[in-house]
Every structure is written in structure tokens, then in C-alpha cells.
Structure 1
């Protein structure tokens, strides 16, 4: 899952995916499209519901800061590791 937010030239992108050992990874990247001031963070969750909870928190935070969601054209393929 990929979700993008934008506020003028500022961007925030979140990717939620399952890695090869079955953990859920929430990757966050943010910055400004006009300069090189960008950063990222990766957090590993052992439970999908914990990762989704954090994703909802991020959505609320971005909305309060005036960010708007933008359309993502990527598609994710789910693999069954179960």
C-alpha cells in the first residue's frame, strides 16, 4: 500500500508492505520537492493491525497539518507467506 500526501512543495509518502520473513514494514519518506532536504524512516511491526493503526494516526496528523492525499498509480501484489 502506498499513500501520498502533498502540501504545496512538501510531500509525505508512506509505504506499508510485508517483508520476506512476514513482518510488516511502514516506510515513511518526506521532504520538499524544491530542495534536497528529504528524510525517511522505516518501522517494523510484527502485526498488520499495529501497522495499520500507525498509518491511520499518520493520516490524521497530515490532515491536521493541511496535507492532501494524492493519487498513487503503483499497485502492490500481495504474497501469501502464511
Structure 2
């Protein structure tokens, strides 16, 4: 398991390749949109909470993983309240 932001294909591609080479299933879990990401972040407290401008910036830079890159599943939260 890789628990990291990995915003771009360039960053997450080596993890996908490593997993594929070891026969592992490759999944990514993402918020559905910026509003959902900000809502989820607002439910966090203390050091777990990320500055809102960072959440917005990360969502703007995110390149969603795809099956074409070798991901078996790309899970997208379907509701803002998903946490």
C-alpha cells in the first residue's frame, strides 16, 4: 500500500509499475471533486487538517490515474460526506 498524494502520472507511475511487476492489484481512491475534498478536509482536526488553499491547489494539479496506466480500479468518492 502506498499512502501518499501522488498527484501526477510521473509520480504514481513507478508505484504502479512496481505493483504490476509483483502481481499486486493496483487501486487508487480519489475525491470526486474539489468541493468534496474540501468538505472531507473540513471534518479533520489538528495536524490532520490541510490548509484549504493546499487542498484546492492539489486538486487543480491532480492527474487522475487510469486503467490505461495499469490501474485495476480507480475509486472515486460519490458523495461529499464520504470519509
Using the size of structure 2 for normalisation, the TM-score is 0.32
Q: TM (normalized to structure 1)?
A: 0.32
Larger helix proportion of the pair: 2
More strand by percentage = 1
The higher relative CO (CA closer than 8 Å, separation ≥ 6) is in 2
